């Protein structure tokens, strides 16, 4: 009986150590979000000279964000995503979205702030 408890304890400890040594659960989600939205912020900065390029990036980013949201590992990151996503969907025209993104500090994006709480720093030029 003592031997069995020892084996169970060792197995549990091994599982805990493996879980603790694993990668940050938010890392993949945050990197995906940073890559997608970072491209959008960069394209917004070039909107005046390349509006068609911005439109293409905006379409592909919005399509990609559904997949990105599905990778959120917890409710906190999903809520941050939903808030940030809503901010980008209130604009019916590309020029309004581009203007908003140019005037917005990427560091204030809800997902960027949430990822920072996991020790992951995102930058708009990460693309």
Query: Is residue 52 predicted with pLDDT exceeding 70?
Result: yes
Q: Would you call 119 helix, strand, or coil by DSSP?
A: coil
Please tell me the pTM assigned to this model. 0.76
**Segment 23-32 mean pLDDT:** 90
The string of DSSP codes covering 54-94 is: HHHHHHHHHHHHHHHHHT--SHHHHHHHHHHHHHHHS-SSH
**Segment 2-16 mean pLDDT:** 41
The Cα–Cα gap between 58 and 74 comes to 26
Percent of the chain with pLDDT over 90: 73
């Amino acid at each position: 009986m003592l031997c069995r408890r020892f084996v169970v304890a060792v197995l549990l400890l091994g599982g805990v150590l493996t879980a603790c040594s694993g990668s940050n659960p938010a890392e993949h989600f945050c990197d995906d979000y940073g890559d997608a939205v970072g491209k959008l912020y960069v394209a917004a900065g070039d909107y005046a000279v390349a509006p068609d390029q911005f439109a293409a990036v905006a379409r592909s980013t919005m399509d990609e964000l559904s997949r990105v949201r599905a990778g959120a590992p917890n409710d906190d990151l999903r809520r941050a995503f939903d808030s940030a996503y809503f901010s980008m969907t209130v604009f019916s025209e590309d020029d309004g979205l581009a203007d908003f993104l140019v005037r917005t500090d990427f560091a204030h994006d809800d997902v960027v702030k949430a990822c920072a709480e996991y020790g992951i720093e995102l930058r708009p030029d990460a693309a």
